[in-house]
């Protein structure tokens, strides 16, 4: 679900802003997009209501990224017993004009897959970024 739609309370809005700032700190050329999904019926059917989706776009195709646009999807699970919402994983995909080029998922083994992959430096930074996201959304509220 678009991050802009998930910012329903101050605490969640702050966390979404923190994710954007963490990414832009490491990759200042990126432009954030809190509404990466179209608002049409076909797209709405595909959107996961238990996720936050944020896009980032670079001014051109980045050689170190092997892509121009990045989609970050933070997946959540809401415990039916205590009602707590926890981040259970992060998926990041890189896209060029040819479509999806690579993907990283923390749900399984934290490996990159795809036709191309970002540079080693970018891969390390993305894995650390994912760790920070999971920590941010899973720490107890103040």
Query: What is the per-residue pLDDT for 94?
Result: 92
Predicted TM-score (pTM) of this structure: 0.85
pLDDT range class, residue 3, cuts 50, 70, 90: low
pLDDT digits (tens, 9 = 90+) for 10-66: 787 898 899 999 999 998 989 998 876 556 555 455 566 678 889 999 987 777 888
Query: What is the per-residue pLDDT for 35?
Result: 75
Query: What is the per-residue pLDDT for 43?
Result: 47
Query: What is the per-residue pLDDT for 6?
Result: 60
Of the candidates 118, 110, 22, the one whose C-alpha atom is nearest the C-alpha of residue 68 is 118
pLDDT digits (tens, 9 = 90+) for 56-112: 999 877 778 888 899 999 998 887 887 778 899 999 999 988 889 999 999 888 999
Q: How far apart are CA 115 and CA 102, in angstroms?
A: 6
Query: What is the per-residue pLDDT for 124?
Result: 95
Q: Are 18 and 1 in contact (CB under 8 A)?
A: no
Q: How far apart are CA 93 and CA 101, in angstroms?
A: 7
Name the residue ranges covered by the structural domains of the chain: 3-138
């Amino acid at each position: 679900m678009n991050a802009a739609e998930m910012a329903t309370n101050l605490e969640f809005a702050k966390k979404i802003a923190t994710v954007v700032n963490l990414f832009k700190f490491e990759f200042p050329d990126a432009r954030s997009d809190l509404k990466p999904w179209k608002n049409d019926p076909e797209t709405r059917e595909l959107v996961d209501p238990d996720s936050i989706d944020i896009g980032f776009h670079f001014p051109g195709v980045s050689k170190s990224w092997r892509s121009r646009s990045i989609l970050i999807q933070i997946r959540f699970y809401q415990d039916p017993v205590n009602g707590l919402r926890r981040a259970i994983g992060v998926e990041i995909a890189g896209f060029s004009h040819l479509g999806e080029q690579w993907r990283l998922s923390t749900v399984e083994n934290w490996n990159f897959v795809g036709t191309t992959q970002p540079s080693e430096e970018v891969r390390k930074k993305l894995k650390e970024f994912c760790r920070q996201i999971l920590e941010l959304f899973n720490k107890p509220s103040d």
